[in-house]
Structure 1
């Protein structure tokens, strides 16, 4: 079984990025970039091990303001999505990886697009999960009304109150969950507690909702050089499936895989589709 190795990476302006790896460093590298407010733990340990066991060197990391990486005062993040793409480059540099297969989910998918378009030599292939096209002016369906109602409650939440935050995040996970598979409420609550405690709270992570970026790659997605694979759940309440289809439609030769009933998550019961497809795409 592939066990995780970890180390801290120093990026631009002295930012510290906490990282973890699974597998053989001589295997093809796969860099995982997670979404808003989510530490690298949201790429589950077992998911990473299964990729590593299929012959990949898996690298995951905590985005700024999550996990054990550098955090900022909440309310006005002094960085952009382009800076976060720079963090990904710093992680690759720290591991001596010239070019990696990059997998990004949600906000991580937006960061991955910026990385692939601004530093194409660093991206061997691109896989996007539950995200939206960046740099294209398209009229796409908005976030669902039910999720917006839930998100509005975050404004009155005491983000320093562990119990309130864990309740909110557990409810969030239920709202974005697959409609095709069972939702394990006990498991997700325990997971959220682990992530909260490891991160020493999630207050700084709310900065992700104020991020700006994407202007540097405006209109460039259609010229993406890296081979592209897109996964998208058909019942995603944050980015509807039309967002994933729009990405695939914009990039000639891309592959689109619909996750039937899939929400805005990496449900364990869908790994049997996702992991083999990533392995094939990164051959």
Structure 2
């Protein structure tokens, strides 16, 4: 079983899902389990880089993170994928480590997966964090439709389009007005390979996201059925998941707590500022007694 340190490319564990897809996962720390579920195209190493995974380990948790299907070193089966697929994959990761109960932390599209897990296995999770991903707006649907249309027409989303889109949605307004910051982020985004195991991975995750949004999720009846303590975080300048809409939706979850993180766009997990890692760690600590699944097999 792999046990890696922050910012190192440690060997990954291989999880095999019920439909035979191999996923790369990592586990470290000891204590109650927190499962970290990333967003669309988000390598799980980001949880280390942003400081959340180390903070949770230091607080006495076992942290499990994994790359969703489509992202290397995980396999990329042919598209389309569904949010049901993504949830089944997450359960397979927990089963691989013998975890019975856990706290869930989902970011962006990872919030969709988190909600699916709460529906399909309501007794298995003791608390949930829905981070920058509770209530999607038409902006997300428009971007997803554009990207899928470009893939259908050209076989890919041109790099220049992806870079511009990511700059405009990831950075907050003050960074977008700083030429040096824009240039630096442009270079980072332009030289990355996206981390996809295959182009089908990008298409697959996009179709899962679009299916969720066009199904008018999250629905009020599903939100009302969430029975675990829930923390909802939203960034002040998030174009995909604006805080006012996330706060209104959070009010439909019984007892949910909402917090706005000021001064950041959707990419606030990478760019800061804010105290999201501290808030999430404190929330998990307050609800650690229910996440007793660290007796791994």
Matched, 1:102 2:104: yes
Contact 2:76–2:197 (CA under 8 A) maintained in structure 1: no
Q: 1:139-185 CA distances to partner (integer Å, 9 max, x unpaired)?
A: x85328xx947973663365568xx43x4333232111242663645
The 3-state SS of whatever aligns with 1:121 is: coil
**What does 1:207-222 align with in structure 2 at a 5 Å threshold?**
207-211=204-208, 212=211, 219-222=221-224
Larger RCO: 1 or 2 (CA < 8 Å, sep 6+): 2
Runs of 4+ aligned structure 1 residues displaced above 6 Å come to 214-217
Q: 1:193-213 CA distances to partner (integer Å, 9 max, x unpaired)?
A: 4553x4345453122222235
Contact 1:66–1:202 (CA under 8 A) maintained in structure 2: no
**What does 1:118-267 align with in structure 2 at a 5 Å threshold?**
118-133=120-135, 141-143=137-139, 148=142, 152=146, 155-156=149-150, 158=154, 164-165=158-159, 167-179=160-172, 182=175, 184-185=181-182, 186=184, 189-190=187-188, 193-194=191-192, 196=194, 198-200=195-197, 202-211=199-208, 212=211, 219-267=221-269
Structure 2 counterpart of 1:136: none
Sort the Cα spacing of 1:153 and 1:114 in 2 relative to 1 into closer, same or farther, 3 A. closer
Deviation, structure 1 residue 40: 2.2
The 3-state SS of whatever aligns with 2:106 is: strand
Q: 1:54-101 CA distances to partner (integer Å, 9 max, x unpaired)?
A: 333221111112222221334xx1x42112111111101111211111
Sort the Cα spacing of 1:252 and 1:90 in 2 relative to 1 into closer, same or farther, 3 A. same
Sort the Cα spacing of 1:193 and 1:226 in 2 relative to 1 into closer, same or farther, 3 A. farther
Sort the Cα spacing of 1:33 and 1:272 in 2 relative to 1 into closer, same or farther, 3 A. same
Sort the Cα spacing of 1:81 and 1:58 in 2 relative to 1 into closer, same or farther, 3 A. same
TM-score by length of 2: 0.76
Contact 1:176–1:264 (CA under 8 A) maintained in structure 2: yes
TM-score by length of 1: 0.79
Aligned residues: 266
RMSD over aligned CA atoms reads 3.2
Structure 2 residue runs without a partner (length 5+): 286-297
Q: Which moved more, 1:203-212 or 1:108-117?
A: 203-212
- For 2:110 and 2:118, the matched residues in 1 are separated by 12
- For 1:267 and 1:280, the matched residues in 2 are separated by 17
- For 2:114 and 2:57, the matched residues in 1 are separated by 20
Matched, 1:7 2:16: no
Q: 1:9-55 CA distances to partner (integer Å, 9 max, x unpaired)?
A: 0111112111123x41x222211111223332443435223332333
Matched, 1:57 2:53: no
The 3-state SS of whatever aligns with 2:237 is: coil
- For 1:278 and 1:192, the matched residues in 2 are separated by 31
- For 2:217 and 2:241, the matched residues in 1 are separated by 22
- For 1:269 and 1:217, the matched residues in 2 are separated by 27
- For 1:237 and 1:62, the matched residues in 2 are separated by 25
- For 2:100 and 2:144, the matched residues in 1 are separated by 42
Structure 2 counterpart of 1:70: 75
Structure 2 counterpart of 1:282: 284
